Amino acid sequence: MQALRTKRVIASMALATSLALGVGAVGVLADSVPASAATQPSGPIVVGGIDAGFNFPGTAQGFQARIARFNKAGGLGGRQIKFLGVSDDQDSPSSELSDAQQLIQSDHVFAITPVADDVYGGATATFVDQSKTPILGYGVSEPWCNDKYAVSIVGCQQSSAGYETTASIKQIIQASKKPASQLRVAMEGYNIAAALTVSKTLGEVWQKQGANVVLNENNIPLTGASSQAPFVQAILATNPNVVFEVTGSAAAVTLAAALKAAGYKGLIYNGSSYEPAALQSEPSVASALNGVYVTNLLPTGYDNTPAVKQEQKDLKAIGAVPDIEIGTDAGYWSADLFIQLLQATKNRGVAVTPANFLATVAKGITVKPSMSGGNGPLTWPMLADQPQPCNATVQGAGTTYKLFQKFTCYNNIKVATGS
């Protein structure tokens, strides 16, 4: 299974490169950019992204698709967004840092975007902040919160004040067809600090909804485990009827397959394995995810809203397959928010520079979806320390997914654990 997924990632990267070279309006491979270019209120707006490709397929295509339409329509008063593409750091903190250094010190980007990564933080966050460079993307780790240089399209997912969304859990309770009081929830996740915080806070949300959390552990290595047996045995020993995988996509697929092979018949869900192309092309992935629920912080391709239809149209326009993956969504909605914040900065009557771009967010702003069914509304400063309270849920069904609940917003609550 892993070999197949590796080949798919390589193919996705190759496709991203070919698309980049073919989209003239986007100008993906940058010309030499002067050191002061990022701070100049004229000329191209140069950006580049970072992702963990095996967990976020399609990030570059999604971003390209949205900015190509923006550039074709004239850009920002004639200024085009010049996209350098997305570097795949393979969830390596050292690679992530070197990629950020390349983008800021050598490419002189206006902003690092799109970002779709499980490990953003530490030295990279410190470097980005010291460089005073905006970073915008799918921010699920703690350093995205309360950082004036970081703008997350899903808000602060690890609130220091203990704010947490109820969205995904309410939808899973609905999917279980049982009252929360009858649910025995086993949670197993990555053994990294970010996942540990997520596990604690969402465990508390489950409890506040009335469920019994029978296991809440973080033992899965970030880069892959040699055997699933220890995790499966620990989970099954608690006799759960709901298993929550607090991992990235690759680990979630592997663990789901192992649980099924061990005879587990209850509900399995995660927030990462929304990958329609994998279901169609990889029978082992389709088998592992059959019946598995996937909660999504962004609209899915199955929502069938005007925003989703426009996203698919934009993908076709750059020659890409209109296949909306988790990475595609992260890239597309990063581009959409970036564009809207650029326009809002221009509308303030100030020069569109990185500093003024960040000031637009800091002063307070609500960004509504550009079309019905899109990501949002997004409001700052609230989202600096609260998660975006919206979610969509799909369920694996053979070589496709079926929509369980379209993108819907709920109320956030406070739990005891903060980051």
SS3 (DSSP) at 180: helix
Give the separation between CA 327 and CA 52, rounded to whole angstroms: 9
Sign of CA dihedral 233, 235, 241, 247: negative
pLDDT of residue 30: 34
| Count of domains observed in the chain | 2
Give the separation between CA 10 and CA 205, rounded to whole angstroms: 38
Give the separation between CA 259 and CA 266, rounded to whole angstroms: 10
| Side-chain half-sphere exposure of 78, counting CA atoms within 13 A | 3
Determine which helix (DSSP H) or strand (DSSP E) holds 215, and give its type and residue range.
strand 212-220
AA letter at 122 = G
pLDDT of residue 418: 57
SS3 (DSSP) at 354: helix
Tell me whether residue 37 is in a domain.
yes
pLDDT of residue 416: 83
Tell me whether residue 11 is in a domain.
yes
The structure tokens 């239809």 sit at 309
For residue 113, give the DSSP letter.
Answer: E
Tell me whether residue 258 is in a domain.
yes
Same domain flag for 351 and 402: no
Same domain flag for 168 and 292: yes
Same domain flag for 271 and 322: no
Tell me whether residue 102 is in a domain.
yes
Measured in degrees and rounded to the nearest 5, phi and psi for residue 395 equal -130, 135
Same domain flag for 275 and 406: yes
Q: Residue 268 to residues 111, 144, 257, 273, 366: CA-CA distances in angstroms?
A: 37, 28, 10, 12, 35
Tell me whether residue 203 is in a domain.
yes
pLDDT of residue 27: 31
pLDDT of residue 343: 98
Q: How far does Cα 376 stand from its chain's mean position?
A: 14
Give the CATH number for residue 139: 3.40.50.2300
209, 180 in Cβ contact below 8 A?
A: yes
Same domain flag for 109 and 246: no
pTM of the full predicted structure?
A: 0.83
285, 5 in Cβ contact below 8 A?
A: yes
Tokens at 210, concatenated: 């009335």
Going by their DSSP bridges, the two strands 412-414 and 163-165 should be labelled as antiparallel
Q: Which domain holds residue 402?
A: 163-296+390-414
pLDDT of residue 158: 86
Same domain flag for 289 and 169: yes
Same domain flag for 372 and 338: yes
| Side-chain half-sphere exposure of 16, counting CA atoms within 13 A | 27
For residue 103, give the DSSP letter.
Answer: I
Same domain flag for 288 and 195: yes
pLDDT of residue 39: 66
Same domain flag for 323 and 291: no
Residues in the chain: 419
Q: What is the pLDDT of residues 331-354, one digit of tens each?
A: 999 999 999 999 999 999 999 999
Going by their DSSP bridges, the two strands 378-380 and 365-367 should be labelled as antiparallel
Same domain flag for 14 and 131: yes
Range 70-78 contact pairs with CB under 8 angstroms and sequence separation of 24 or more: 70/335, 70/339, 71/25, 71/26, 72/25, 75/45, 76/45, 76/342, 76/343, 76/346, 76/352, 77/346
Q: What parts of the chain have a pLDDT lower than 50?
A: 1-36
334, 114 in Cβ contact below 8 A?
A: yes
pLDDT of residue 198: 84
pLDDT of residue 37: 58
Tell me whether residue 76 is in a domain.
yes
Give the separation between CA 275 and CA 25, rounded to whole angstroms: 28
Tell me whether residue 419 is in a domain.
no
Same domain flag for 207 and 261: yes
Give the separation between CA 231 and CA 248, rounded to whole angstroms: 15
Measured in degrees and rounded to the nearest 5, phi and psi for residue 208 equal -65, -25
Same domain flag for 123 and 9: yes
SS3 (DSSP) at 307: helix
Give the separation between CA 187 and CA 173, rounded to whole angstroms: 15
